[in-house]
Amino acid sequence: MRLLLDSNIVVPIASKERDKLGAQVNLLLNARANDFFVSVASLWEIAIKTRLGKLPLNAPLQQLPAALSALGYAIVAIDRHHAIEDLIDQPDTNDPFDRMLLAQCQVEGMRLVTTDRALMRHPLAWRPA
């Protein structure tokens, strides 16, 4: 399965606090049959919130992309197809980062792994079996 990780999943991974994600998400992250992706949109959101002091990150921000790549997570750039994608199912959020992640999932055939309750209800979100 192709899975895009929301920033609320990426931060605990980068901070070496995966225990905060819960058993089901950790089982998913350990499953070798899955391909994991992190969007540039999430990196941008994390950078903004970290610099504003709204998000503690227990890792150097500049090393985040390399650290995620070393864990086997591919970085997904934002391209014109993602930017203009019209979501089939509108989310219960107007957050531009969340909407971009959903657009990337729709275009790239991925599911979004998130702990955001509003996004978890979206058809493109991953749900435990």
**Angstrom distance (rounded) from CA 18 to CA 106:** 27
The residues with which 87 forms a beta bridge, in sequence order, are none
Q: Please, is 88 exposed, middle or buried when counting C-beta atoms within 10 Å of its C-beta (0-12, 13-18, 19+)?
A: exposed
Is a pLDDT exceeding 80 seen at residue 129?
A: no
Mean pLDDT, the chain, rounded, equals: 93
**What pTM was computed for the model?**
0.93
pLDDT of residue 37: 98
The H or E element that residue 58 is part of is: none
pLDDT of residue 121: 92
Yes or no: say if 91 and 122 are a contact pair by the CB < 8 Å rule.
yes
Highest mean pLDDT among 89-93, 120-124, 125-129: 120-124
Give residues with Cβ within 8 angstroms of 23, minimum separation 6. Answer: none
Question: Encoding tokens for residue 59?
Answer: 């890792």
At 17-61, the pLDDT tens digits run: 999 999 999 999 998 899 999 999 999 999 999 999 998 887 788
Q: Please, is 85 exposed, middle or buried when counting C-beta atoms within 10 Å of its C-beta (0-12, 13-18, 19+)?
A: middle
Q: Please, is 49 exposed, middle or buried when counting C-beta atoms within 10 Å of its C-beta (0-12, 13-18, 19+)?
A: middle
